[in-house]
Amino acid sequence: MKRSVRIFWRIFFILFGLGILTVLLANWGVFGKMPSLAELENPTITQASEVLAADGTLMGKYYLPNGNRSIVKYRDISPNVINALIATEDKRFYDHAGIDLKGTLRAIFLLGKEGGGSTITQQLALALFNQRASNKAVRVIQKLKEWIISVKLERNFTKEEIVALYLNAVPFSDNVYGIRNAARTWFQKEPDRLSVDEAALLVGMINGPGIYNPRRNPKLAIDRRNLVIARMVDNGNLSAAEGSRVAAMPMRLNYKKMDENTGFAPYFRDVLRDELKTILKDPGLKKSDGSSYSLYEDGLRIYTTINPLMQQYAEEAVYTQVPNLQRALVRQSFIKSGAVWKGRDNILLRAMKESDRWKNMADDGFSDKEIKASFYKKVPMKIFAWDAKYKGKDTVMTPYDSIKYHRTMVQSAFMVMDPVTGEVKAWVGGIDFKTYKYDHVNLRTKRQVGSTIKPLLYAEAIEERGMTPESMVEDVQQDFGNGQLVPATGRTCSGRTMTMASALAWSKNCATAYIMKLVGPAQFVKFLQQINIPTKIQPFPSIALGSCELSLFEMLWGYSIFGGRGFSTKPYFISRIEDRNGNVIKRFDYSVNRKEAISEATAYTMSRMMQGIVDKGTAAGLRARLGAAEMAGKTGTTNDNSDAWFMGFTPQLLGGVWVGCDDRFIRNEGRGGFGGEAARPIWEAFFKKVYADKSLGINRDEKFAEPATMENEILSADPSQFVTSENAEPTAEGEDAGVGSEQDYMSNTNEYIGPESKPVTDENKGPVKDTTQKEPKAVQGKPIGSSDEPKKKKGFLGGLFKKKDKNKKQEPEKQ
């Protein structure tokens, strides 16, 4: 053998050996961590957690900036998407084992001019386990690692599993991740319903999400779409005639990107997120590897109790009434002249310092004096307004005037629940979530409750003191000693004796103070604790008139004792939580939140007595207008109309409304600020829609269940028989509550709120719902979350795809 030949073979074998060694070293992780076998079998795709309504309607998601993915099964992806992907990205996909040697050599010799050599499997390996390196030398090593991972992926998964995993992982334009989110965002469809042109447009984005963005670069996006269509023709997926026809079609978008401000009940979802963070910290709630679940990465499904139709009706009711209240508010002279802000410069200065403008300018090195001066210069801006379909309007004003403008907006909160089970059906935290983020429903948001507290006191008097609707009470100012007069003035006291039913129907403060003296402030506070009101209330005598501060959430909790037949039921809004495989990891049972607080007889008596309020009292005519067989309610108004309330219930639903401004000195000082005028119309508008919608099953003819044995019997079927016409106007409401002032119960009032529910919709199916899974059940003898089904793979891929022979070329399933 010639010396030159020997040298050639030596070099060849040395290079071959070095190549083998390099591959082994790469596989062993010398050039950077390689995924383990377990990681390959259970590749982790950061997946958004989905919030679902009671009927499966998608309400919204929680996700990291690059983690908004919703996993979809292979069988639920349109064949048009599969064909477009393979024709464009890897036409020999079904013929190689992860590495396309022909494509790789072509890319090397042509320097990538006709495309790279990466297969779909290699692109998946990069998406799952690496981030593309910018350094060319490092990229060579990275490419070697991709090859190794690709071969391993091909050995572990079928072709169909690889395609589905790829489509679930890759990014599309506008930072949308995964084929399901892309279909929903760009076309408001599920991915199994995508047409050829829609599939081609989405697949075209993958190669350059920024370049081929249909919103920003429509011409480039169409050109790319038509290139994908041409490749589908070349690959035999379309005939030439069909390809020409589709390529000639205009681009048809139905773009709506879901974020925190869109979807169903963004207010509720904001509160839900904090609740879920607490739940997922439970030491008993762990993944199989012992780690905690991540709300933003683990693709959880959170099934809530929210009814989408009721949520929609609740928001519409708020949006119908609050603009009227806003118009009435700004017509008042002290608002129009700006006198309301006199002496309140400290409030406005604090608002300026808490604004993004102040913080951003401070970060840029501006002095406080310079920053403050900028607030008095007019600039173009968009402000919240009730016109333009709640989108606000463009204007020019100073940031200082903008602060005053937005703080004079009337806010509202509305919550609806089942009084027996505690299931929250609707949650409206305010008027516009995009502008005002502060929620007025949840436990932490407290306002003076006014006369809505009275039914709880009357229930205590019936339960513990043996009083009845016909018991006589004195409408006289009460002295509790040490100068504690309740109410503070006696101007609304008639001095007459009346039935307890009349005192409640007309919300008589002096008669209520009389009942408070019989019961005792300390005993009443004990009763509120007994019905599970969480807020610690001090035993001031004036709490009988609602000088204490409670949340709307707590008020519904308290009122549940009436419609709930004597049981105090904590409102709850999560029914179950599933992992990404559909296994139930936690189920919520309302029965653990129920506690017997009063007798069923007392609850029934109060429900019937409170009907006098909606028949003859401060909400007169409400029941007749709605045509309900039985209904109960209570209005409430606090000092100087700062807060307006209405709490009402039927045998099937309990709802509570609050109306007011975040700054309590901003208020409607006329009769329109009373609870019966400001808050009650929201409740009424909602129930009018609910009764009209037969699909909800809320029946006008339903009656409160009368106990078999009544300890305190109502002597007539008419609860109004003991109500006399004491006063045509609820003048007792809104007066000075007496001992225990606004300052005694002050809460943070510097923030705002407001949701607008808009579902993700399929143009052919309506609201997008999770119809892929029925509610799973725990396997007998195994904990919830386990399964007795045979598994081809462990991890989320185990149950994600249909099992097929991975060595057999398979066509996409028929849809």
Arithmetic mean of pLDDT, 658-680: 90
- On the question of pLDDT at 775 being above 60, the answer is no
| 541 belongs to a structural domain | yes
Distance of CA 168 to the CA centre of its chain: 24
Give CA–CA dist 337/329, Å, rounded: 12
Residue 40 binned pLDDT confidence (cut-offs 50, 70, 90): low
Q: Are 307 and 78 in contact (CB under 8 A)?
A: no
| Paired residues of 758 in beta bridges | 263
| 506 belongs to a structural domain | yes
Arithmetic mean of pLDDT, 201-206: 94
Comparison of pLDDT for 257 and 244, the residue scoring more:
244
Minimum mean pLDDT among 71-75, 99-103, 182-186: which range?
99-103
| 461 belongs to a structural domain | yes
Give CA–CA dist 527/457, Å, rounded: 9
Q: What does the pLDDT read at residue 443?
A: 94
Residue 719 binned pLDDT confidence (cut-offs 50, 70, 90): low
Per the structure block, which two tokens stand in for 10?
């030596």
Q: What does the pLDDT read at residue 743?
A: 38
Give CA–CA dist 148/40, Å, rounded: 12
Q: What does the pLDDT read at residue 36?
A: 59
Report pLDDT digits (tens) over 42-96.
566 778 899 999 999 999 989 887 677 788 889 999 999 999 999 998 888 888 8
The residue out of 695, 711, 737 marking a domain boundary is 737
What is the domain-level CATH number for residue 697? 3.40.710.10
Give CA–CA dist 715/184, Å, rounded: 60
Give CA–CA dist 351/358, Å, rounded: 10
Q: What does the pLDDT read at residue 297?
A: 87
Residue 38 binned pLDDT confidence (cut-offs 50, 70, 90): low
Torsion, Cα of 23, 28, 33, 35 (10° steps): 90
3-state DSSP call for residue 652? coil
Q: Give the residue carrying structure tokens 């039927």.
A: 650
| 267 belongs to a structural domain | no
Other C-beta atoms lying within 10 Å of the C-beta of residue 572: 20
Report pLDDT digits (tens) over 546-594.
999 999 999 999 999 999 999 999 999 999 999 988 999 999 987 778 9
Q: Are 168 and 71 in contact (CB under 8 A)?
A: yes
Q: Are 271 and 441 in contact (CB under 8 A)?
A: yes
| 188 belongs to a structural domain | yes
Cα–Cα distances (Å) from 805 to 73, 157, 792, in that order, read: 17, 10, 11
Percent of the chain with pLDDT strictly greater than 70: 78
Expressed in percent and rounded to 5, the helix, strand and coil fractions of the chain are: 45, 15, 45
Q: Report CA torsion sign: 518, 520, 526, 529.
A: positive
Q: What does the pLDDT read at residue 109?
A: 53
Residue 41 binned pLDDT confidence (cut-offs 50, 70, 90): low
Cα–Cα distances (Å) from 705 to 91, 456, 566, 567, in that order, read: 69, 20, 12, 14
Report pLDDT digits (tens) over 128-173.
765 654 555 555 566 677 777 778 888 888 899 889 988 988 889 9
Other C-beta atoms lying within 10 Å of the C-beta of residue 795: 18
Residue 766 binned pLDDT confidence (cut-offs 50, 70, 90): low
| 386 belongs to a structural domain | no
Give CA–CA dist 43/164, Å, rounded: 13
| Paired residues of 643 in beta bridges | 660
Give CA–CA dist 36/795, Å, rounded: 14
What is the DSSP-derived secondary structure letter of residue 394? E
Minimum mean pLDDT among 122-136, 326-340, 362-376, 800-814: which range?
800-814
E strand or H helix at 556: helix 552-563
The residue out of 737, 752, 774 marking a domain boundary is 737
- On the question of pLDDT at 696 being above 60, the answer is yes
- On the question of pLDDT at 538 being above 90, the answer is yes
Give CA–CA dist 82/97, Å, rounded: 18
Arithmetic mean of pLDDT, 624-634: 96
Q: β-strand 49-52 against 301-304: which pairing, if any?
A: parallel
Q: Are 493 and 475 in contact (CB under 8 A)?
A: yes
Q: What does the pLDDT read at residue 472?
A: 95
Residue closest to 147 by CA, chosen among 85, 208, 104, 108: 104
Residue 806 binned pLDDT confidence (cut-offs 50, 70, 90): very low
- On the question of pLDDT at 473 being above 60, the answer is yes
Arithmetic mean of pLDDT, 278-292: 90
Minimum mean pLDDT among 393-397, 590-594, 662-666: which range?
590-594
Q: What does the pLDDT read at residue 635?
A: 96
| 780 belongs to a structural domain | no
- On the question of pLDDT at 764 being above 60, the answer is no
Give CA–CA dist 652/649, Å, rounded: 8
Q: Are 54 and 304 in contact (CB under 8 A)?
A: yes
What is the domain-level CATH number for residue 153? 1.10.3810.10
Q: Are 313 and 58 in contact (CB under 8 A)?
A: no
Residue 725 binned pLDDT confidence (cut-offs 50, 70, 90): low
Residue 491 binned pLDDT confidence (cut-offs 50, 70, 90): confident
- On the question of pLDDT at 639 being above 80, the answer is yes
Q: β-strand 761-762 against 301-304: which pairing, if any?
A: unpaired
Cα distance from N-terminal residue to C-terminal residue, the chain = 64
Residue partners of 181: CB distance under 8 A and separation at least 6? 48, 68, 69, 70, 172
Q: Are 467 and 685 in contact (CB under 8 A)?
A: no
Give CA–CA dist 690/684, Å, rounded: 10
What is the DSSP-derived secondary structure letter of residue 786? B
Percent of the chain with pLDDT strictly greater than 90: 57
Comparison of pLDDT for 19 and 224, the residue scoring more:
224
Residue 354 binned pLDDT confidence (cut-offs 50, 70, 90): very high
* Cα 193-197-198 angle, rounded to 5 deg: 45
Q: What does the pLDDT read at residue 585?
A: 94
Q: What does the pLDDT read at residue 129?
A: 61
| Paired residues of 567 in beta bridges | 596
What is the DSSP-derived secondary structure letter of residue 577? E
Average predicted confidence (pLDDT) for the chain: 82
What is the DSSP-derived secondary structure letter of residue 649? E
Q: Residue 569 class from Cβ within 10 Å (0-12 exposed, 13-18 middle, 19+ buried)?
A: buried
Other C-beta atoms lying within 10 Å of the C-beta of residue 249: 15
- On the question of pLDDT at 485 being above 50, the answer is yes
| 549 belongs to a structural domain | yes
The domain in which residue 163 lies consists of 31-46+69-259
Q: Which amino acid is at 499?
A: T
Per the structure block, which two tokens stand in for 541?
């005598």
Arithmetic mean of pLDDT, 269-283: 94
- On the question of pLDDT at 289 being above 90, the answer is no
Q: Which amino acid is at 217?
A: N
Helices (runs of H) and strands (runs of E) counted in the chain: 28, 24
The residue out of 708, 737, 766 marking a domain boundary is 737
Arithmetic mean of pLDDT, 502-506: 93
At 445, phi and psi to the nearest 5?
-95, 110
Q: What does the pLDDT read at residue 290?
A: 87
Residue closest to 470 by CA, chosen among 566, 598, 612: 612
Q: What does the pLDDT read at residue 601?
A: 93
How many structural domains are present in the chain?
2
Q: Which amino acid is at 704?
A: F
Comparison of pLDDT for 160 and 391, the residue scoring more:
160
Comparison of pLDDT for 766 and 588, the residue scoring more:
588
Residue 758 binned pLDDT confidence (cut-offs 50, 70, 90): low
Give CA–CA dist 322/409, Å, rounded: 9
Contacts 24+ apart (CB under 8 A), 666-672: 666/329, 666/335, 666/340, 666/407, 666/408, 667/329, 667/640, 667/641, 667/642, 668/325, 668/328, 668/329, 668/332, 668/410, 668/641, 669/332, 669/640, 669/641, 670/328, 670/332, 670/641, 671/729, 672/325, 672/328
- On the question of pLDDT at 410 being above 50, the answer is yes
Residue partners of 442: CB distance under 8 A and separation at least 6? 271, 429, 551, 553
Give CA–CA dist 576/589, Å, rounded: 9
